[in-house]
Structure 1
């Protein structure tokens, strides 16, 4: 009986956590909509993580599909970085080179210590989280941002990130 109650509690907590994550915008995304420089920095960090983690995927992934996904991430995120920087310049800003945030650095470090199937599993898990955060960041700025050039670029990034999420779902273990 006690095991059933504990199992029920665990299921309820997991369901609540999943629902809460699906319904909330990460605080960083909401904060970035009011600050163009913060949006540029967070978008740059997001792209840099995608590029660096995907470069590791080209070296360490077991599955060819994961390496192909990684190659697409590198190409697309180099492009979106360029677009955000150009929009920032149009807005009269001088953005700093992108740098990883501490959680992204930790994710890269995790991937560096893995290879093969263990790498694939961790990489795909991280990609789901990173793309959900990127989608929230770009969607929020596209809707609420206060700089027209950056709003336009954020709006253009949204379908790209959504395509990445859809591609992830199609990968074995990426769902």
Structure 2
């Protein structure tokens, strides 16, 4: 009984400072307020649909896989064109992923830390090949990955709900199409 009273008193002492806050004047409130960076479109709810969350997670894992594949090409390939494509993929997919993570953070969406096990297995299979066989397999792997990224983005644009997430899909499409053209030109 005595312990319960002590805990109750300690709990009130901890909560009391939180409930009694000094009142700021409007000028103080404006100077202390965080700057407004962007306002969510009116159609955006406070949460995302399951479909929008699934897109964010799949696109994030795709970006992670592309970055890992680009790094593998820089380590393994001696072909300057393949290495150039790898640099471009790393740069662009890091940029996409940074923006994607901002949207995910805004809506408290937890993103996976790694590419899917299938993506990791596919990359491992590609990196097991020697020399020129690696370059060809890597380019085919990139072609498939970018076709999937386009399909994923188009599905989000058709079926997604969040304007924020749809903007990500819409904005990434031209760059992914360009990657695909460059990859196919090299094949």
TM bracket, shorter-chain basis:
0.7 to 0.9
| Structure 2 counterpart SS, 1:99 | coil
Match of 1:149 in 2: 164
| Range with bigger deviation, 52-61 or 104-113 | 104-113
Report the alpha carbon displacement of residue 135 of structure 1 after superposing the two structures with TM.
0.5
Structure 2 residue ranges without an equivalent (≥5): 1-48
Supply the distance in 2 between the matched residues of 1:73 and 1:115 (Cα, whole angstroms): 22
Match of 1:163 in 2: 178
2:90 to 57, 74, 90: 74
TM-score (norm 1): 0.74
Supply the distance in 2 between the matched residues of 1:115 and 1:75 (Cα, whole angstroms): 25
TM-score (norm 2): 0.70
Match of 2:124 in 1: 109
Report the alpha carbon displacement of residue 74 of structure 1 after superposing the two structures with TM.
0.3
Once the two structures are superposed, what CA deviation does each residue of 1:88-121 show, in whole Å capped at 9, x if it has no partner? Answer: 233x223224421122011121133223201101
Report the alpha carbon displacement of residue 75 of structure 1 after superposing the two structures with TM.
0.3
Q: Is the 8 A contact 1:61 1:115 kept in 2?
A: no
Match of 1:28 in 2: none
Supply the distance in 2 between the matched residues of 1:118 and 1:45 (Cα, whole angstroms): 26
Match of 1:35 in 2: 51
Structure 1 residue ranges without an equivalent (≥5): 1-32
Q: Which runs of 4+ in 1 moved over 3 A?
A: none
> What is the CA RMSD across the aligned residues, in angstroms?
1.6
Match of 1:58 in 2: 74
Say which one has the larger Rg: 2
Higher helix share: 1
Supply the distance in 2 between the matched residues of 1:163 and 1:117 (Cα, whole angstroms): 23
Supply the distance in 1 between the matched residues of 2:94 and 2:157 (Cα, whole angstroms): 20
Match of 2:65 in 1: 49
Report the alpha carbon displacement of residue 46 of structure 1 after superposing the two structures with TM.
0.6
